[in-house]
Amino acid sequence: MTAPRPAFETATMVRAGEELAIDVLEHHLAVIEEGEESVHAFNLVLADSARERARAVDARVAAGEDPGPLAGVPVALKDNLCTRGVPTTCSSRILDGWCPPYDATVVTRLADAGAVVIGKTNMDEFAMGSSTETSAFGTTRNPHDTTRVPGGSSGGSAAAVAAGFAPLALGSDTGGSIRQPAALCGVVGMKPTYGTVSRYGLVAFASSLDQIGPFAGTVADAALLFDAIGGHDPLDSTSLHRPTPRVLSVLDDGVDGMTVGVLAEFLDGADPDVVARVHQAAEALGAAGARIEEVSVPEVALGLSAYYLIAPGEASSNLARYDGVRYGLRVDAADTVAMNTATRTAGFGAEVKRRIMLGTYVLSAGYMDAYYNQALKVRTRIIEGFATAYARCDVLLGPTAPTTAFAIGAKVDDPLTMYLSDVCTIPSNLAGHPAISVPFGPGDDGLPVGVQLLGPALSEGTLFQVAAVVESAAPDLPAPRLTTGAPS
């Protein structure tokens, strides 16, 4: 397959009337038709509504109007983003049959920017997982090797972009759910500063950690999508009132004079080939004029433990509403209380149940101080640790995930090993900071490696600026082949 055309070019051509949005869409629908069976990136492909939308974009261009910066660009949405009248499942049986009566703010903003929503992508159930294997609707497969996982939880969105099903996708990142699958699928994925992108219409997993962000084939495309979805939203009380950094304009500014810290703790547990790629990226940044330092933030080592107390705690509350009373699955039983139990027993998968149990426990009277409140203190210490590092460095550099894509089934029965996939991504969520994963060549197994850039709150401009330099120095990655087995 040919390398997908960047969204930026597509939008420019559609806005100029040089290409029809409907043709762009049909091309992508054809790619989906060809590859979806082996990848299973989507829970739902919205061919009809996408065609309607694409024709509307073309009509606006024909009428001399500008449909916006994403004119005619197909975008795939993680299936935890509410779409009016379209099933939104979170890849869970518990939401069986539910169609939201409203659009998420990001969905509205995509429409306002002229984008064409092409489908809803598969994910770990309620975003709880690192491989997309906890989906109730089957596993998404990595387009670079369909025996491997795409990562997760936004595995469907990452795979859709990697497979050329859509040039852009949105995911959500609670502990790495955008960056880790982006790394494993060889695409760009970015988690914005908490509060930068509205969470209104994002089905909550852990509200204080969740943040929506872009997937794209290139850093520039990720910047284009981030600019379109960010900004204050009165419907989200945690949405920042400060201006969102506009990132598109700084992409060519380079790294001359910047200080990049290579984060030692992130290298500790990573595979040697992944570590080698991180060093290679650091050298490239050094060659481009940045000062490279090794930095230690010991507190980040506590992140994983703290995360698995805070996130399940919030999740146990957020997922209480799936009780069979108002919407989604209902399993009838003798009375309401029995119905609640029967519905939740049938509707949730094992990983979701595990986290609800864990979260209920850590919030319980008598255990709250020992677990949840302790984790909140760790969270504060991580923020302080990062602050010390950012006093010296503009950005931090490390791997996104400790390994390349692992085999389907390899970790799904071993939760603790699976949780370690997110050890390098979780600290940014706990701190509320932005971070971006950029593909940086293949690992020893020929599968994509992602390097991660981390910055302080609202440093998106700097992150994209550095990411563009990393991208330009990245070794070539074999194109996805949508087949079994890694490229030789």
Partner 1 sequence: MTSGWQMVIGLEVHCELKTATKLFCGCPNMFGDEPNTNVCPNCLGLPGSLPVLNQQAVELAMAIGTALHCEIRPSTFHRKNYFYPDQAKDYQISQYDEPLNVDGWLDLPDGFRVGIERAHMEEDTGKTSHAGASGRIHGADYSLVDYNRSGVPLVEIVSAPDMRTAEQARAYVTELRAILVASGASDGKMEEGSMRVDANVSVRRSAEAPFGTRCEIKNLNSVRSLGRAIEYEAQRQIALIESGEAVVQQTRHWDEGAGRTEALRSKEDAYDYRYFLEPDLVPLVPDAEWIRAVGDTLGMMPAERRARLIGLLEQAGGATDAQRDQVATVVDLGLDDLVVEAVAGGIGSGLALARTANEAATDADAARALDPKSYLELLMLESSGSLSATQAKAVLAELFARGGGDPAAIARDKGYEAMSEDSLAATVAQAVADHPDEWGRYRDGDDKLAGFFTGLVMKATRGQANGRAVAAELARLRG
Of 234 and 243, nearer to partner 1 (C-beta) is 234
Q: With contact defined as beta carbons under 8 Å apart, do 359 and 319 qualify?
A: no
Output the smallest distance, CB 202 to partner 1, in A: 6
**Is 79 one of the binding residues for partner 1 (CB under 8 A)?**
no
- 356 backbone dihedrals φ, ψ, rounded to 5°: -65, -40
Give the integer Cα–Cα distance in Å for 122 and 239: 26
**Euclidean distance between CA atoms 38 and 436, whole angstroms:** 28
Q: Which one from 92, 153, 198, 316 is the annotated catalytic residue?
A: 153
Comparison of 15 and 355: residue with beta carbon closer to partner 1: 355
Q: Is 440 left (phi over 0), alpha (psi -120 to 50) or beta?
A: beta
Smallest gap from residue 81 Cβ to partner 1 (A): 8
Concerning whether 91 is annotated as a catalytic residue, the answer is no
Sole window of 14-22, 28-36, 200-208, 211-219 interacting with partner 1 (rule: CB under 8 A): 200-208
Question: Nearest Cα to 455, choosing from 401, 398, 394?
Answer: 394
Beta-strand ranges (E) seen in 68-205 are 74-78, 116-121, 168-173, 188-191
Between 94 and 113, CB nearer to partner 1: 94
CA distance 204 to 208: 9
Give yes or no for residue 436 binding partner 1 (CB under 8 A): no
**What is the DSSP code string of 8-35?**
HHHHHHHHTTSS-HHHHHHHHHHHHHHH
Count residues contacting partner 1 (CB under 8 A)?
Answer: 45
Shortest approach of partner 1 to residue 250 CB, angstroms? 29
Residue 388 CB-half CA count within 13 A: 12
Closest Cα partner for 251 from 219, 228, 227? 219
Q: Does 82 bind partner 1 (CB under 8 A)?
A: yes
Q: For residue 370, count CB atoms less than 10 angstroms from its CB and return exposed for 0-12, middle for 13-18, buried for 19 or more.
A: exposed
Q: Judged by CB, which is closer to partner 1: 188, or 203?
A: 203
Which one, 145 or 173, has the nearer CB to partner 1? 173
Q: How far is CA 363 from CA 204, 208, 276, 321, in A?
A: 18, 15, 41, 17
Residues 12, 46 contacting (CB under 8 angstroms):
no
Our finding on whether 363 is near partner 1 (CB under 8 A) is yes
For residues 482 and 468, give the distance between their C-alpha atoms in angstroms, rounded to a whole number: 27
Identify which of 455, 340, 286, 436 has the alpha carbon closest to the alpha carbon of residue 386.
Answer: 455
Catalytic residue among 92, 157, 172, 177: 177
The only residue of 18, 335, 369, 476 in contact with partner 1, by rule CB under 8 A: 335
Whose Cβ is closer to partner 1: residue 154's or residue 316's?
A: 316
Selected binder of partner 1 within 12, 259, 280, 317 (CB under 8 A): 317
211 lines the binding site for partner 1 (CB under 8 A): no
DSSP symbol at 406: P
Applying CB under 8 A, among 365, 369, 391, 416 the residue interacting with partner 1 is 365
User: 334, exposed or middle or buried, with CB in 10 Å at 0-12, 13-18, 19+?
Assistant: exposed
**Crossing angle (nearest 10°) for helices 219-229 and 7-15:** 60
What minimum distance in Å lies between the beta carbon of 398 and partner 1?
A: 27
Q: Which of residues 235-264 bind partner 1 (CB under 8 A)?
A: 235-238
The torsion angles phi and psi of 368, rounded to 5 degrees, stand at -55, -45
Q: Does 177 qualify as catalytic in the annotation?
A: yes
Measure the CA angle with vertex 3, ends 2 and 6; round to 5°: 135
Q: Is 313 in the site for partner 1 (CB under 8 A)?
A: yes
Smallest distance from partner 1 to CB 111, Å: 17
Select from 41-49, 55-63, 231-239, 459-467 the region that touches partner 1 (CB under 8 A). Answer: 231-239
Alpha carbon of residue 345 to chain centroid: 28
Interface residue with partner 1 among 336, 380, 472, 484 (CB under 8 A) is 336
Write the interaction track for partner 1 spanning residues 98-127; mark x where CB under 8 A is met and - where it is not. x-xxx-x-----------------------
**Is residue 95 within the footprint of partner 1 (CB under 8 A)?**
yes
Q: Which of 12, 207, 259, 280 binds partner 1 (CB under 8 A)?
A: 207
Examine residue 175 and tell whether it contacts partner 1 (CB under 8 A). Answer: no
135 counts as catalytic: no
Residue of 56, 276, 368, 383 that binds partner 1 (CB under 8 A): 368
Q: Choose one: 143-151, 204-212, 283-291, 463-471; the region binding partner 1 (CB under 8 A).
A: 204-212
Judged by the rule CB under 8 A, the positions of this chain that interact with partner 1 are 80-82, 88, 90, 95, 98, 100-102, 104, 199-204, 206-208, 234-238, 313-314, 316-317, 320-321, 323, 325-327, 335-337, 340, 360, 363-365, 368, 372
Q: Which residues are catalytic?
A: 78, 153, 177
